[in-house]
Structure 1
Protein backbone atom coordinates (compact mmCIF):
# COMPACT_ATOMS: atom_id res chain seq x y z
CA UNK A 1 0.00 0.00 0.00
CA UNK A 2 2.01 2.94 -1.32
CA UNK A 3 2.87 5.65 1.19
CA UNK A 4 1.44 3.87 4.23
CA UNK A 5 2.92 4.65 7.64
CA UNK A 6 1.34 2.93 10.63
CA UNK A 7 1.11 4.27 14.16
CA UNK A 8 0.08 2.20 17.15
CA UNK A 9 -1.30 3.96 20.22
CA UNK A 10 -1.28 1.75 23.28
CA UNK A 11 0.59 0.61 26.36
CA UNK A 12 4.16 -0.43 27.00
CA UNK A 13 3.39 -4.09 26.26
CA UNK A 14 2.68 -3.13 22.65
CA UNK A 15 5.80 -1.24 21.66
CA UNK A 16 8.29 -3.73 23.13
CA UNK A 17 8.06 -5.70 19.90
CA UNK A 18 10.45 -8.17 18.32
CA UNK A 19 11.66 -7.41 14.81
CA UNK A 20 11.49 -3.62 15.02
CA UNK A 21 14.45 -2.34 12.96
CA UNK A 22 16.20 1.00 13.38
CA UNK A 23 14.24 1.78 16.52
CA UNK A 24 14.67 5.25 17.99
CA UNK A 25 12.68 7.53 20.26
CA UNK A 26 11.74 10.88 18.75
CA UNK A 27 10.64 13.95 20.70
CA UNK A 28 7.91 15.87 18.86
CA UNK A 29 6.39 19.26 19.61
CA UNK A 30 3.07 20.38 18.13
CA UNK A 31 0.99 23.57 18.18
CA UNK A 32 -1.10 21.80 20.84
CA UNK A 33 1.89 21.00 23.03
CA UNK A 34 3.84 17.81 23.57
CA UNK A 35 2.30 14.34 23.10
CA UNK A 36 2.05 11.83 25.92
CA UNK A 37 5.67 10.76 25.45
CA UNK A 38 8.43 10.53 22.89
CA UNK A 39 7.43 8.38 19.91
CA UNK A 40 9.24 5.18 19.03
CA UNK A 41 9.88 4.92 15.29
CA UNK A 42 11.33 2.14 13.17
CA UNK A 43 10.51 -0.44 10.50
CA UNK A 44 8.49 -3.57 11.12
CA UNK A 45 7.92 -6.21 8.43
CA UNK A 46 9.10 -3.68 5.84
CA UNK A 47 6.69 -0.94 6.95
CA UNK A 48 7.46 2.37 8.65
CA UNK A 49 5.82 2.32 12.07
CA UNK A 50 5.46 4.56 15.12
CA UNK A 51 4.54 3.57 18.67
CA UNK A 52 3.02 6.14 21.02
CA UNK A 53 2.52 5.24 24.71
CA UNK A 54 -0.94 6.76 25.26
CA UNK A 55 -0.46 7.27 29.02
CA UNK A 56 3.30 7.81 28.80
CA UNK A 57 5.91 5.25 29.77
CA UNK A 58 5.20 4.12 33.30
CA UNK A 59 1.54 5.26 32.97
CA UNK A 60 1.79 8.73 34.60
CA UNK A 61 -1.20 10.21 32.72
CA UNK A 62 -4.84 9.50 33.69
CA UNK A 63 -7.33 9.23 30.81
CA UNK A 64 -8.64 12.79 31.10
CA UNK A 65 -5.14 14.29 31.01
CA UNK A 66 -3.90 12.43 27.95
CA UNK A 67 -3.04 15.18 25.41
CA UNK A 68 -5.21 13.75 22.65
CA UNK A 69 -4.80 16.67 20.23
CA UNK A 70 -1.04 16.71 20.61
CA UNK A 71 -0.89 12.92 20.16
CA UNK A 72 -2.77 12.95 16.87
CA UNK A 73 -1.00 16.09 15.65
CA UNK A 74 2.42 14.57 16.42
CA UNK A 75 1.60 11.43 14.45
CA UNK A 76 0.37 13.52 11.52
CA UNK A 77 3.60 15.54 11.61
CA UNK A 78 5.60 12.31 11.40
CA UNK A 79 3.79 11.34 8.21
CA UNK A 80 1.53 8.70 9.73
CA UNK A 81 -1.41 7.66 7.54
CA UNK A 82 -2.94 4.79 9.55
CA UNK A 83 -3.54 4.61 13.31
CA UNK A 84 -4.29 1.44 15.28
CA UNK A 85 -5.59 2.05 18.78
CA UNK A 86 -5.03 -0.80 21.24
CA UNK A 87 -6.74 -0.38 24.59
CA UNK A 88 -8.21 -2.24 27.56
CA UNK A 89 -11.98 -2.37 27.97
CA UNK A 90 -14.69 -3.86 30.10
CA UNK A 91 -17.32 -6.01 28.42
CA UNK A 92 -21.10 -5.76 28.55
CA UNK A 93 -21.58 -9.03 26.65
CA UNK A 94 -21.20 -12.53 28.04
CA UNK A 95 -19.71 -13.73 24.76
CA UNK A 96 -17.08 -10.98 24.75
CA UNK A 97 -15.01 -12.60 27.47
CA UNK A 98 -11.80 -11.45 29.16
CA UNK A 99 -8.92 -12.20 26.82
CA UNK A 100 -11.00 -11.63 23.67
CA UNK A 101 -10.37 -8.78 21.22
CA UNK A 102 -13.20 -6.61 19.88
CA UNK A 103 -12.70 -4.69 16.63
CA UNK A 104 -14.77 -1.62 17.47
CA UNK A 105 -16.92 0.01 14.78
CA UNK A 106 -19.01 2.52 16.78
CA UNK A 107 -18.63 4.83 19.77
CA UNK A 108 -20.79 6.54 22.36
CA UNK A 109 -18.86 9.52 23.71
CA UNK A 110 -19.60 10.22 27.39
CA UNK A 111 -16.42 12.21 28.04
CA UNK A 112 -16.98 15.79 29.21
CA UNK A 113 -13.63 17.32 30.19
CA UNK A 114 -11.55 16.95 27.03
CA UNK A 115 -10.79 19.17 24.05
CA UNK A 116 -12.41 17.32 21.15
CA UNK A 117 -11.51 19.29 18.04
CA UNK A 118 -8.60 21.01 16.34
CA UNK A 119 -10.96 23.67 14.98
CA UNK A 120 -11.76 26.71 17.12
CA UNK A 121 -13.30 30.17 16.86
CA UNK A 122 -11.90 31.65 13.67
CA UNK A 123 -12.13 28.49 11.61
CA UNK A 124 -15.16 26.25 12.02
CA UNK A 125 -15.32 22.73 10.62
CA UNK A 126 -17.73 19.82 11.02
CA UNK A 127 -16.53 16.35 9.99
CA UNK A 128 -18.74 13.30 9.77
CA UNK A 129 -18.11 10.55 12.30
CA UNK A 130 -21.20 8.53 11.40
CA UNK A 131 -18.75 5.72 10.65
CA UNK A 132 -15.93 6.62 13.04
CA UNK A 133 -13.41 3.92 12.13
CA UNK A 134 -11.78 3.02 8.83
CA UNK A 135 -13.61 -0.08 7.60
CA UNK A 136 -10.61 -1.30 5.61
CA UNK A 137 -8.11 -0.90 8.46
CA UNK A 138 -10.54 -2.47 10.93
CA UNK A 139 -10.98 -5.54 8.73
CA UNK A 140 -7.21 -5.90 8.38
CA UNK A 141 -6.74 -5.51 12.14
CA UNK A 142 -9.32 -8.21 12.83
CA UNK A 143 -7.63 -10.59 10.41
CA UNK A 144 -4.25 -9.83 11.98
CA UNK A 145 -5.59 -10.62 15.46
CA UNK A 146 -7.06 -13.91 14.27
CA UNK A 147 -3.72 -14.87 12.76
CA UNK A 148 -2.23 -14.29 16.21
CA UNK A 149 -4.60 -16.85 17.70
CA UNK A 150 -6.98 -14.45 19.40
CA UNK A 151 -10.75 -14.82 19.68
CA UNK A 152 -11.97 -11.78 17.73
CA UNK A 153 -15.39 -10.14 17.62
CA UNK A 154 -15.97 -8.06 14.49
CA UNK A 155 -17.91 -4.93 15.35
CA UNK A 156 -18.94 -3.50 18.67
CA UNK A 157 -19.98 -0.23 20.26
CA UNK A 158 -17.41 1.28 22.60
CA UNK A 159 -18.77 3.56 25.32
CA UNK A 160 -16.11 6.11 26.24
CA UNK A 161 -16.49 7.26 29.85
CA UNK A 162 -14.58 10.07 31.52
CA UNK A 163 -13.12 8.10 34.38
CA UNK A 164 -10.84 7.60 36.19
CA UNK A 165 -13.38 5.74 38.35
CA UNK A 166 -15.08 2.66 36.98
CA UNK A 167 -18.86 2.49 36.47
CA UNK A 168 -21.46 2.23 39.18
CA UNK A 169 -23.65 -0.85 38.96
CA UNK A 170 -26.58 1.30 37.81
CA UNK A 171 -24.49 2.90 35.05
CA UNK A 172 -23.15 -0.46 33.92
CA UNK A 173 -26.66 -1.87 33.63
CA UNK A 174 -27.89 1.22 31.76
CA UNK A 175 -25.04 1.17 29.24
CA UNK A 176 -25.59 -2.55 28.62
CA UNK A 177 -29.38 -2.87 28.68
CA UNK A 178 -30.71 0.53 27.53
CA UNK A 179 -27.92 1.99 25.43
CA UNK A 180 -26.76 -1.16 23.68
CA UNK A 181 -23.04 -0.64 24.28
CA UNK A 182 -20.78 -3.67 23.98
CA UNK A 183 -17.58 -2.53 25.69
CA UNK A 184 -16.50 0.37 27.88
CA UNK A 185 -13.23 2.24 28.12
CA UNK A 186 -11.76 5.66 28.90
CA UNK A 187 -9.42 6.54 26.04
CA UNK A 188 -10.78 6.16 22.50
CA UNK A 189 -12.63 9.47 22.61
CA UNK A 190 -11.84 12.09 21.48
CA UNK A 191 -8.95 10.18 19.90
CA UNK A 192 -11.09 8.76 17.08
CA UNK A 193 -12.76 12.11 16.36
CA UNK A 194 -9.42 13.91 16.17
CA UNK A 195 -8.00 11.23 13.89
CA UNK A 196 -10.91 11.82 11.52
CA UNK A 197 -10.29 15.60 11.55
CA UNK A 198 -6.64 14.88 10.75
CA UNK A 199 -7.76 12.65 7.84
CA UNK A 200 -6.05 9.59 9.29
CA UNK A 201 -7.28 6.02 8.85
CA UNK A 202 -8.21 4.94 12.39
CA UNK A 203 -9.20 1.56 13.82
CA UNK A 204 -9.61 0.35 17.38
CA UNK A 205 -8.83 -3.08 18.78
CA UNK A 206 -10.28 -3.35 22.28
CA UNK A 207 -8.81 -6.00 24.58
CA UNK A 208 -11.43 -7.25 27.03
CA UNK A 209 -10.11 -7.43 30.58
CA UNK A 210 -13.29 -7.71 32.69
CA UNK A 211 -17.10 -7.61 32.73
CA UNK A 212 -17.38 -4.09 34.16
CA UNK A 213 -19.78 -4.35 37.15
CA UNK A 214 -22.99 -5.70 35.63
CA UNK A 215 -22.15 -9.41 35.63
CA UNK A 216 -23.67 -11.20 38.65
CA UNK A 217 -20.90 -13.81 38.71
CA UNK A 218 -17.90 -11.49 38.45
CA UNK A 219 -18.54 -8.61 40.86
CA UNK A 220 -16.86 -5.24 40.66
CA UNK A 221 -13.87 -4.34 38.51
CA UNK A 222 -10.49 -5.03 40.13
CA UNK A 223 -7.45 -3.29 38.65
CA UNK A 224 -5.23 -6.23 39.62
CA UNK A 225 -7.39 -8.55 37.52
CA UNK A 226 -7.09 -6.11 34.62
CA UNK A 227 -3.31 -6.13 34.90
CA UNK A 228 -3.21 -9.92 34.83
CA UNK A 229 -5.33 -10.13 31.68
CA UNK A 230 -3.33 -7.37 29.99
CA UNK A 231 -0.08 -9.15 30.74
CA UNK A 232 -1.47 -12.36 29.28
CA UNK A 233 -2.64 -10.48 26.17
CA UNK A 234 0.68 -8.73 25.57
CA UNK A 235 2.08 -11.39 23.22
CA UNK A 236 -1.19 -11.51 21.27
CA UNK A 237 -1.23 -7.74 20.89
CA UNK A 238 2.36 -7.65 19.63
CA UNK A 239 1.67 -10.47 17.19
CA UNK A 240 -1.39 -8.61 15.94
CA UNK A 241 0.63 -5.46 15.30
CA UNK A 242 3.35 -7.43 13.48
CA UNK A 243 0.79 -9.21 11.28
CA UNK A 244 -0.98 -5.94 10.49
CA UNK A 245 2.30 -4.27 9.54
CA UNK A 246 3.16 -7.14 7.19
CA UNK A 247 -0.31 -6.97 5.64
CA UNK A 248 -0.15 -3.21 5.06
CA UNK A 249 3.38 -3.43 3.67
CA UNK A 250 2.29 -5.94 1.07
CA UNK A 251 -1.12 -4.52 0.22
CA UNK A 252 -2.00 -3.07 -3.15
CA UNK A 253 -2.87 0.65 -3.12
CA UNK A 254 -6.53 1.49 -3.03
CA UNK A 255 -9.00 4.09 -1.86
CA UNK A 256 -10.56 3.86 1.58
CA UNK A 257 -14.29 3.16 1.37
CA UNK A 258 -14.88 5.17 4.55
CA UNK A 259 -13.34 8.31 3.02
CA UNK A 260 -10.95 8.90 5.91
CA UNK A 261 -8.28 10.65 3.84
CA UNK A 262 -10.80 13.14 2.40
CA UNK A 263 -12.84 13.83 5.54
CA UNK A 264 -12.24 17.60 5.33
CA UNK A 265 -13.34 17.99 1.71
CA UNK A 266 -16.69 19.56 2.65
CA UNK A 267 -16.13 20.21 6.36
CA UNK A 268 -14.92 23.84 6.48
CA UNK A 269 -17.71 26.37 7.09
CA UNK A 270 -15.85 29.61 7.73
CA UNK A 271 -15.36 31.65 4.58
CA UNK A 272 -11.73 32.31 3.64
CA UNK A 273 -11.98 36.05 4.31
CA UNK A 274 -13.35 35.40 7.81
CA UNK A 275 -10.72 32.89 8.87
CA UNK A 276 -8.27 33.72 11.64
CA UNK A 277 -4.82 33.75 9.94
CA UNK A 278 -3.09 32.58 13.12
CA UNK A 279 -5.43 29.60 13.41
CA UNK A 280 -5.03 28.81 9.72
CA UNK A 281 -1.27 28.69 10.24
CA UNK A 282 -1.69 26.57 13.38
CA UNK A 283 -3.80 24.07 11.45
CA UNK A 284 -1.39 23.75 8.53
CA UNK A 285 -0.17 20.34 9.72
CA UNK A 286 -3.69 19.01 10.20
CA UNK A 287 -5.73 20.60 7.42
CA UNK A 288 -3.16 22.02 5.04
CA UNK A 289 -4.51 19.85 2.23
CA UNK A 290 -7.79 21.81 2.15
CA UNK A 291 -6.45 25.11 3.45
CA UNK A 292 -3.76 25.32 0.79
CA UNK A 293 -0.99 25.99 3.30
CA UNK A 294 0.17 22.44 4.00
Structure 2
Protein backbone atom coordinates (compact mmCIF):
# COMPACT_ATOMS: atom_id res chain seq x y z
CA UNK A 1 0.00 0.00 0.00
CA UNK A 2 1.37 3.39 -0.93
CA UNK A 3 1.44 5.69 2.09
CA UNK A 4 0.76 9.39 1.77
CA UNK A 5 1.13 10.32 5.43
CA UNK A 6 4.50 12.03 5.06
CA UNK A 7 3.63 14.08 2.01
CA UNK A 8 -0.06 14.93 2.28
CA UNK A 9 -1.94 17.02 4.84
CA UNK A 10 -4.48 15.34 7.09
CA UNK A 11 -7.74 15.09 5.19
CA UNK A 12 -11.14 15.08 6.86
CA UNK A 13 -13.99 13.73 4.73
CA UNK A 14 -16.92 16.07 4.28
CA UNK A 15 -18.75 14.18 1.54
CA UNK A 16 -22.10 14.37 3.30
CA UNK A 17 -22.96 17.17 5.72
CA UNK A 18 -26.54 16.81 6.97
CA UNK A 19 -28.68 19.61 8.37
CA UNK A 20 -30.61 18.54 11.46
CA UNK A 21 -33.19 20.78 13.19
CA UNK A 22 -32.08 21.08 16.81
CA UNK A 23 -35.67 21.58 17.89
CA UNK A 24 -36.48 17.98 16.91
CA UNK A 25 -35.39 15.60 19.66
CA UNK A 26 -36.11 12.50 17.57
CA UNK A 27 -34.02 13.87 14.68
CA UNK A 28 -31.07 14.52 17.00
CA UNK A 29 -31.32 10.97 18.33
CA UNK A 30 -31.55 9.47 14.85
CA UNK A 31 -28.52 11.48 13.72
CA UNK A 32 -26.32 9.34 15.99
CA UNK A 33 -26.79 6.42 13.60
CA UNK A 34 -26.76 8.16 10.21
CA UNK A 35 -23.49 7.47 8.30
CA UNK A 36 -22.88 11.09 7.29
CA UNK A 37 -19.46 12.68 7.60
CA UNK A 38 -20.79 15.78 9.32
CA UNK A 39 -23.85 17.25 10.99
CA UNK A 40 -25.07 20.84 11.06
CA UNK A 41 -27.22 21.15 14.17
CA UNK A 42 -29.48 23.92 12.98
CA UNK A 43 -30.78 26.85 15.01
CA UNK A 44 -31.71 28.94 11.99
CA UNK A 45 -34.12 28.17 9.13
CA UNK A 46 -35.38 24.83 10.43
CA UNK A 47 -36.38 26.22 13.85
CA UNK A 48 -39.45 28.34 14.61
CA UNK A 49 -38.81 31.59 16.54
CA UNK A 50 -40.47 30.41 19.74
CA UNK A 51 -38.48 27.16 19.67
CA UNK A 52 -35.04 28.74 19.26
CA UNK A 53 -33.99 28.90 22.95
CA UNK A 54 -34.81 25.23 23.49
CA UNK A 55 -33.12 24.28 20.21
CA UNK A 56 -30.00 26.16 21.28
CA UNK A 57 -29.83 24.20 24.52
CA UNK A 58 -30.45 20.90 22.70
CA UNK A 59 -27.71 21.52 20.16
CA UNK A 60 -25.19 22.37 22.86
CA UNK A 61 -26.18 19.28 24.84
CA UNK A 62 -25.73 17.12 21.75
CA UNK A 63 -22.20 18.47 21.24
CA UNK A 64 -21.34 17.78 24.87
CA UNK A 65 -22.82 14.27 24.84
CA UNK A 66 -19.98 12.53 23.01
CA UNK A 67 -22.57 10.24 21.43
CA UNK A 68 -22.04 11.09 17.75
CA UNK A 69 -18.91 9.06 17.06
CA UNK A 70 -16.52 10.39 14.46
CA UNK A 71 -19.06 12.67 12.82
CA UNK A 72 -17.98 16.28 12.55
CA UNK A 73 -20.40 18.24 14.74
CA UNK A 74 -21.21 21.85 13.90
CA UNK A 75 -23.85 24.29 15.07
CA UNK A 76 -25.50 26.72 12.65
CA UNK A 77 -26.38 29.83 14.60
CA UNK A 78 -28.75 32.58 13.54
CA UNK A 79 -27.38 35.41 11.44
CA UNK A 80 -25.73 38.53 12.79
CA UNK A 81 -28.78 40.61 11.88
CA UNK A 82 -31.14 38.64 14.14
CA UNK A 83 -32.10 38.96 17.79
CA UNK A 84 -30.85 35.44 18.55
CA UNK A 85 -27.33 35.78 17.16
CA UNK A 86 -25.46 36.92 20.26
CA UNK A 87 -26.92 34.28 22.57
CA UNK A 88 -26.41 31.62 19.92
CA UNK A 89 -22.77 32.61 19.52
CA UNK A 90 -22.10 32.64 23.26
CA UNK A 91 -23.74 29.24 23.79
CA UNK A 92 -22.05 27.62 20.78
CA UNK A 93 -18.63 28.88 21.83
CA UNK A 94 -19.16 27.45 25.33
CA UNK A 95 -20.26 24.10 23.87
CA UNK A 96 -17.14 23.86 21.66
CA UNK A 97 -18.37 22.04 18.53
CA UNK A 98 -16.02 21.31 15.66
CA UNK A 99 -17.29 24.46 13.97
CA UNK A 100 -19.82 27.24 14.17
CA UNK A 101 -21.70 27.76 10.92
CA UNK A 102 -22.87 31.31 10.23
CA UNK A 103 -25.35 32.21 7.48
CA UNK A 104 -25.05 35.08 5.01
CA UNK A 105 -21.42 36.01 5.53
CA UNK A 106 -20.93 38.77 2.97
CA UNK A 107 -17.56 40.36 3.66
CA UNK A 108 -14.10 39.96 5.12
CA UNK A 109 -15.11 42.45 7.83
CA UNK A 110 -17.98 40.17 8.83
CA UNK A 111 -15.55 37.23 9.14
CA UNK A 112 -13.23 39.25 11.37
CA UNK A 113 -16.15 40.33 13.56
CA UNK A 114 -17.29 36.72 13.95
CA UNK A 115 -13.80 35.50 14.78
CA UNK A 116 -13.40 38.26 17.36
CA UNK A 117 -16.71 37.25 18.93
CA UNK A 118 -15.58 33.62 19.09
CA UNK A 119 -12.39 34.69 20.84
CA UNK A 120 -14.29 36.95 23.25
CA UNK A 121 -16.59 34.09 24.18
CA UNK A 122 -13.67 31.73 24.75
CA UNK A 123 -14.33 29.29 21.93
CA UNK A 124 -11.77 26.46 22.11
CA UNK A 125 -9.07 26.41 19.45
CA UNK A 126 -10.57 23.37 17.74
CA UNK A 127 -13.84 25.21 17.09
CA UNK A 128 -13.54 26.67 13.61
CA UNK A 129 -15.74 29.03 11.60
CA UNK A 130 -17.73 27.86 8.58
CA UNK A 131 -19.05 30.73 6.51
CA UNK A 132 -22.17 30.37 4.40
CA UNK A 133 -21.88 32.31 1.16
CA UNK A 134 -25.30 32.77 -0.37
CA UNK A 135 -25.70 36.19 -1.97
CA UNK A 136 -24.47 37.83 -5.19
CA UNK A 137 -22.32 40.18 -3.10
CA UNK A 138 -20.67 37.23 -1.35
CA UNK A 139 -19.94 35.57 -4.70
CA UNK A 140 -18.21 38.73 -5.94
CA UNK A 141 -16.17 38.99 -2.73
CA UNK A 142 -15.63 35.30 -2.03
CA UNK A 143 -11.83 35.44 -2.12
CA UNK A 144 -11.75 38.28 0.43
CA UNK A 145 -14.15 36.34 2.67
CA UNK A 146 -12.17 33.12 2.43
CA UNK A 147 -8.83 34.84 3.11
CA UNK A 148 -10.04 36.93 6.05
CA UNK A 149 -9.04 34.50 8.83
CA UNK A 150 -7.26 31.21 9.35
CA UNK A 151 -10.05 30.23 11.72
CA UNK A 152 -12.41 30.17 8.76
CA UNK A 153 -11.82 26.72 7.28
CA UNK A 154 -14.93 25.94 5.23
CA UNK A 155 -17.18 27.79 2.80
CA UNK A 156 -20.74 26.46 2.58
CA UNK A 157 -22.78 27.27 -0.49
CA UNK A 158 -26.26 28.59 0.22
CA UNK A 159 -27.73 27.89 -3.19
CA UNK A 160 -31.38 28.40 -2.25
CA UNK A 161 -30.77 31.93 -1.06
CA UNK A 162 -28.45 32.62 -3.98
CA UNK A 163 -31.17 31.58 -6.45
CA UNK A 164 -33.67 33.78 -4.61
CA UNK A 165 -31.34 36.81 -4.68
CA UNK A 166 -30.67 36.28 -8.40
CA UNK A 167 -34.39 35.84 -9.21
CA UNK A 168 -33.21 32.59 -10.79
CA UNK A 169 -35.05 29.34 -11.43
CA UNK A 170 -34.05 25.99 -9.94
CA UNK A 171 -33.33 24.01 -13.10
CA UNK A 172 -31.42 20.78 -13.86
CA UNK A 173 -27.78 21.59 -14.39
CA UNK A 174 -28.03 24.79 -12.31
CA UNK A 175 -27.03 27.02 -15.22
CA UNK A 176 -28.20 30.24 -13.50
CA UNK A 177 -25.96 29.49 -10.49
CA UNK A 178 -22.81 28.29 -12.24
CA UNK A 179 -21.04 31.65 -12.25
CA UNK A 180 -21.53 32.04 -8.51
CA UNK A 181 -20.57 28.43 -7.78
CA UNK A 182 -17.41 28.82 -9.85
CA UNK A 183 -16.40 32.10 -8.18
CA UNK A 184 -16.77 30.54 -4.75
CA UNK A 185 -14.80 27.46 -5.82
CA UNK A 186 -12.00 29.62 -7.19
CA UNK A 187 -11.89 31.55 -3.92
CA UNK A 188 -11.75 28.38 -1.83
CA UNK A 189 -8.96 26.83 -3.86
CA UNK A 190 -6.98 30.08 -4.02
CA UNK A 191 -7.04 30.35 -0.22
CA UNK A 192 -6.75 26.70 0.74
CA UNK A 193 -10.25 26.32 2.15
CA UNK A 194 -12.75 23.47 1.96
CA UNK A 195 -15.96 24.20 0.05
CA UNK A 196 -19.24 22.29 0.37
CA UNK A 197 -21.98 22.40 -2.24
CA UNK A 198 -25.54 23.52 -1.52
CA UNK A 199 -28.60 21.39 -0.86
CA UNK A 200 -30.86 19.59 -3.32
CA UNK A 201 -34.47 20.34 -2.46
CA UNK A 202 -36.50 17.54 -4.06
CA UNK A 203 -35.80 14.66 -1.68
CA UNK A 204 -37.94 12.27 -3.75
CA UNK A 205 -36.00 12.86 -6.98
CA UNK A 206 -33.05 10.52 -6.52
CA UNK A 207 -31.96 10.76 -10.16
CA UNK A 208 -31.83 14.54 -10.03
CA UNK A 209 -30.00 14.47 -6.70
CA UNK A 210 -27.34 12.05 -7.93
CA UNK A 211 -26.85 14.10 -11.10
CA UNK A 212 -26.27 17.22 -9.00
CA UNK A 213 -23.82 15.32 -6.76
CA UNK A 214 -21.90 14.26 -9.86
CA UNK A 215 -21.89 17.82 -11.14
CA UNK A 216 -20.60 19.11 -7.81
CA UNK A 217 -17.88 16.47 -7.69
CA UNK A 218 -16.81 17.21 -11.26
CA UNK A 219 -16.68 20.94 -10.51
CA UNK A 220 -14.41 20.33 -7.53
CA UNK A 221 -16.60 20.59 -4.43
CA UNK A 222 -15.45 18.59 -1.40
CA UNK A 223 -18.94 17.39 -0.53
CA UNK A 224 -22.58 18.36 -0.33
CA UNK A 225 -24.93 19.70 2.30
CA UNK A 226 -28.04 17.56 2.68
CA UNK A 227 -31.57 17.98 4.01
CA UNK A 228 -32.65 14.33 4.32
CA UNK A 229 -30.94 11.18 5.64
CA UNK A 230 -31.90 9.39 2.43
CA UNK A 231 -29.42 11.57 0.54
CA UNK A 232 -26.39 10.49 2.60
CA UNK A 233 -25.48 7.30 0.75
CA UNK A 234 -25.57 8.98 -2.65
CA UNK A 235 -23.36 11.85 -1.51
CA UNK A 236 -20.91 9.51 0.21
CA UNK A 237 -20.51 7.54 -3.00
CA UNK A 238 -20.34 10.53 -5.32
CA UNK A 239 -17.67 12.40 -3.38
CA UNK A 240 -15.45 9.39 -2.65
CA UNK A 241 -12.82 7.97 -5.02
CA UNK A 242 -13.99 4.84 -6.77
CA UNK A 243 -12.10 1.57 -6.30
CA UNK A 244 -10.70 1.96 -9.80
CA UNK A 245 -9.54 5.51 -9.07
CA UNK A 246 -7.73 4.32 -5.95
CA UNK A 247 -6.13 1.44 -7.83
CA UNK A 248 -5.00 3.76 -10.62
CA UNK A 249 -3.59 6.25 -8.10
CA UNK A 250 -1.51 3.58 -6.40
CA UNK A 251 -0.24 2.24 -9.71
CA UNK A 252 0.66 5.69 -10.98
CA UNK A 253 2.60 6.57 -7.82
CA UNK A 254 4.44 3.25 -7.86
CA UNK A 255 5.37 3.70 -11.52
CA UNK A 256 6.68 7.20 -10.83
CA UNK A 257 8.64 6.25 -7.69
CA UNK A 258 10.22 3.20 -9.32
CA UNK A 259 11.37 5.14 -12.37
CA UNK A 260 15.10 5.53 -12.90
CA UNK A 261 14.74 8.61 -15.03
CA UNK A 262 13.46 9.62 -18.43
CA UNK A 263 9.82 9.74 -19.41
CA UNK A 264 7.52 7.91 -17.01
CA UNK A 265 4.32 6.36 -18.33
CA UNK A 266 1.48 4.51 -16.66
CA UNK A 267 -1.22 2.73 -18.67
CA UNK A 268 -0.01 4.57 -21.75
CA UNK A 269 -0.19 8.01 -20.14
CA UNK A 270 2.76 10.27 -19.46
CA UNK A 271 3.18 10.91 -15.73
CA UNK A 272 4.38 14.22 -14.32
CA UNK A 273 4.62 15.62 -10.78
CA UNK A 274 1.17 17.18 -11.02
CA UNK A 275 -0.34 13.77 -11.75
CA UNK A 276 1.47 12.30 -8.75
CA UNK A 277 0.17 15.05 -6.51
CA UNK A 278 -3.38 14.37 -7.68
CA UNK A 279 -2.92 10.64 -7.12
CA UNK A 280 -1.63 11.20 -3.59
CA UNK A 281 -4.64 13.38 -2.84
CA UNK A 282 -6.91 10.59 -4.09
CA UNK A 283 -5.22 8.14 -1.73
CA UNK A 284 -5.38 10.54 1.20
CA UNK A 285 -9.12 10.91 0.67
CA UNK A 286 -9.63 7.16 0.41
CA UNK A 287 -7.54 6.49 3.53
CA UNK A 288 -9.39 9.16 5.53
CA UNK A 289 -12.75 7.71 4.51
CA UNK A 290 -11.59 4.23 5.51
CA UNK A 291 -10.40 5.55 8.88
CA UNK A 292 -13.70 7.35 9.45
CA UNK A 293 -15.61 4.13 8.85
CA UNK A 294 -13.36 2.26 11.26
The TM-score normalised by the length of structure 1 is 0.28
> If each structure's helix is expressed as a fraction of its own residues, which one has the higher value?
2
> Which structure shows the higher strand fraction?
1
TM norm structure 2: 0.28
Tell me which of the two structures has the higher relative contact order, counting C-alpha pairs closer than 8 angstroms and 6 or more residues apart: 1
